[in-house]
Structure 1
Amino acid sequence: MADLDQTLAVALKGYAWLPDLRRRAGGGPARTRVLGRPAVGICGPSAAQFFYGPGNLERHSALPELVTQTLFGAGGVQTLDGAAHRHRKALFTSLLMDDGIDRLAELAGETFDSAAERWRGGPPVRLFDESARIIASAVARWCGVPLDGRERNALARHCLSMVDGFATVGPRTARAFAARRLEEHRLSKIISSVRAEPRSATPLSAVAHHVEDGAELDPRVAAVELLNIIRPTIAVAWLVAFAAHAMDMWPRHQARIRSGDDEYTEAFVHEVRRFYPFTPFLGGRAVRDGFFQGEPIPAGTLVLLDVYGQNHDPEVWPEPYAFSPERFLGRDIGDFDLIAQGGGDPRTGHRCPGERLTVALLGTMVRRLAELDHYLPPQDTGIDLSRVPALPRDRIQLVVPEHAVTHPLSASRSRALDGS
């Protein structure tokens, strides 16, 4: 098994590939080959600590060119390591980890309310696509990107394509390449025009005027980094669809969220991020000879952190295949427990600095959805774990009756879930 290249198996099995490989290896580190390179799959909080430990791994040499050119963008922060990564990362932490995210959540809530009025009494809408357009409108306004309605809808469609096409080869990948070219071109022109204006407090201005080595970023690289704020924000549409799926499967959650229980809503958001499939695994390349759980990891080895496996590990999460927000009530989440968006300290390492934004934004969308009387007509809500990224097959079709009632929560309903 260790001598067989598993690249095709990854494409065929999706989220199940690495958990199955580790199971056959007895649950410990699983040796294999991926993309022609020696690799080892690891899982668990101690594995996450090793993966994010300083000096153990680097990211830029581990990213396949396909992922760089579709999902992250050439020259983006995910392709950097060391001092260059820390300096670029500071730009993102300054924008995505302060009180400004409350305003983005508020904008998304307002846009959702307007959209829900259009849905009322009409034909079924696809919540996944509608959520992407709602979020795209909110994040474009929040960033200060001057786009009209048609351009914001195109931004939503293009960002969905970038995420949808990074883990496959074929039409989805072609759409991802085309979408990235279009948005990088559009945003690089906007960035160039913004540089002729005084610096403002918007994320667009911050990215446009960001300086490294005494010079502003190349306009295309700056566009990549602006997309690295916008694209993952729009990708929350996947989580909104999963949240609606959970409310439909287990209606008691909707009732409790509708009651205005903020603590439970936050727990529900974390359980959606843990339970449903989004990131299958993360990769890094060992920069020095080392060991993990007694297993040697030679320099150059591709180290794969099993995100989906850890988020369903019974040693970390009792009854991991039960959807239970209660598991997060009264629990402090360790830096290396819930790794849906990476592990460790987002200010200094490779954990996503937009995690707080994701929690706040998803919480707002979940509250709005819980408030709104709606139903899911007959459809296929199955989730194919061989497809990365996974999504309910019919993208969650939703109907809002003409005389549906909105059940408003308390005045705090648009507040970020962490209370900031």
Structure 2
Amino acid sequence: MTAAAIPRLRGDSTIGFLADGYAFGARRFERLGSDAFRARLGGMPATLVRGVDGARFFAEGERFTRVGALPPSVLHSLQDVGSVQQLSGAAHHARKGLFLDVLDEPGRARLVEALREDWGAALPTWQASDTVQLHRAVAGVLTRAVCRWADLPLNQRTARARTIEFLAMLDGAGGFGPRNWWGRWRRRRTERWARGLIRDGRRRGAHGVVARLLDHRDADGSGLSDEVAAIELINLLRPTVAAGRFVVFAALALHRHPEWAERFRAGEERHLRGFVQEVRRTAPFFPLVAGRAVRELEWRGERFAPGEMVALDIFATHRDPAVWSDPLAFRPERHEAGGPAARGADALIAQGAGDYATGHRCPGEPLTIELLEETVRLLTRRMTYDVPPQDLGVDLRRFPTLPRSGFVMSRVRIT
């Protein structure tokens, strides 16, 4: 491409972003006929990119850091100061290695088993209820499962409190004003609980995930303070509960495509991974991932100054017709060998792009996929249910979004 190939939007696009929500970038990429454009969002200049090429530019070569890329309202709701996403270089690699070690294959298998057990324990209550809202119900199951997996003490009261707090953090991260303040206030309650677990582990001897956090050494050889260890403990627990949003979208896909529900109910496993990946592609989760250039960069004939903001548009990449044929159609079989996945992992970037260890991809992605596969099995083989009339519309102007009803089930029966 020639110099100045990236178009620039006039004025400030904040109102347009709020009006279009997830679709903000996708509509402008198509209108401009470009996979990148420059804009001002919240008064700050940013370049939005989509597609495999944009994902590789953003995620490879350690060109961008997440430090300073998140608005304070999002940072304090989700990651907080001192967390892994607020590190760069060797410090980021060492801390991320902790997450990869904790979420290794045996660790993931134990958590999937905990999910299976806690889902089974919840089924009698669901069966006895007139209706069950899946979003809240699965959040409770995942909270109990991940805390049990981490070997953390939890009773009925504290399980309910942690579930409410994790949901508030996630919901508040995409909002402003009271919704965000509520999420941040709830997060402070969770942090006090987590710090208590860390301090008790130091005094009395730790086990489980707390022991892993206390044994960890950063790149400079130092251990984690109580505050940072508590933050990273939450950053292991909260994303597991966040995966419940994908579970709701998986249930919605089973409802809208009953032929797939029948196939999985009959025991088919061949297309299960493809179904889960198609749910992750089509479900609006986080709209984009942003970073700041760590040095002067050049891409497509244009220069990016150190500190300049670039955002990889996840929603638009998953609807890029250059990557996905008929991108608005739900087709699990497209993820078989030879499909878009053959272009590499950066075609599907629901949880970030690049390498797990060095890029901007969530180390919990394999766990999310395995949890979703198990929940599809549970929804189709361990239970039956009706889907009563309700508003299953998805508001693309709300971050993060869900079907408006949260997916209500009735007449749940154990099979």
Q: TM range, normalised to the smaller chain?
A: over 0.9
Mapped to 2, the partners of 1:166 and 1:20 lie a distance apart of 24
Gaps of 5+ in 1: 407-420
* Aligned with 1:131 (options 135, 138, 144): 138
Select between 34-43 and 228-237 the one with higher mean Cα deviation. 34-43
How many matched pairs?
403
- The equivalent residue for 2:16 is 9
Q: Deviation at 1:405?
A: 5.3
Alignment of 1:3-402 (within 5 A): 3-200=10-207, 202-212=208-218, 213-331=220-338, 332=341, 334-371=344-381, 372-401=383-412
Higher helix content, 1 or 2: 2
- The equivalent residue for 1:418 is none
- C-alpha RMSD over aligned residues: 1.6
Q: Deviation at 1:381?
A: 0.5
Moved >6 Å (runs of 4+): none
Gaps of 5+ in 2: 1-7
8 A contact 2:62–2:358 mirrored in 1: no
Identity of aligned residues (%): 38
Mapped to 1, the partners of 2:35 and 2:354 lie a distance apart of 21
Q: Deviation at 1:215?
A: 3.7
8 A contact 2:131–2:409 mirrored in 1: yes
8 A contact 1:97–1:354 mirrored in 2: no
Mapped to 1, the partners of 2:180 and 2:244 lie a distance apart of 19
SS of the equivalent of 2:292 reads strand
8 A contact 1:199–1:209 mirrored in 2: no
- The equivalent residue for 1:413 is none
8 A contact 2:35–2:54 mirrored in 1: no
Mapped to 1, the partners of 2:214 and 2:372 lie a distance apart of 28
Mapped to 1, the partners of 2:213 and 2:269 lie a distance apart of 33
Select between 77-86 and 144-153 the one with higher mean Cα deviation. 144-153
8 A contact 1:128–1:396 mirrored in 2: yes
- The equivalent residue for 1:417 is none
Mapped to 1, the partners of 2:303 and 2:127 lie a distance apart of 60
| CA deviation string 1:277-330 (max 9, x = no partner) | 001011111233323223333333210101000011121111111111111133
Mapped to 2, the partners of 1:141 and 1:392 lie a distance apart of 29
8 A contact 2:124–2:414 mirrored in 1: no
* Structure 1 residues 300 and 318, CA gap change in structure 2 (3 angstroms): same
Mapped to 1, the partners of 2:81 and 2:151 lie a distance apart of 23
Q: Deviation at 1:3?
A: 4.5
2:216 maps to amino acid: H
| TM-score, length-scaled by structure 1 | 0.92
| TM-score, length-scaled by structure 2 | 0.93
Q: Deviation at 1:357?
A: 0.6
Mapped to 2, the partners of 1:76 and 1:99 lie a distance apart of 24
8 A contact 2:83–2:231 mirrored in 1: yes
8 A contact 1:39–1:304 mirrored in 2: yes
| CA deviation string 1:90-123 (max 9, x = no partner) | 1101011332111111111111112122111421
SS of the equivalent of 2:48 reads strand
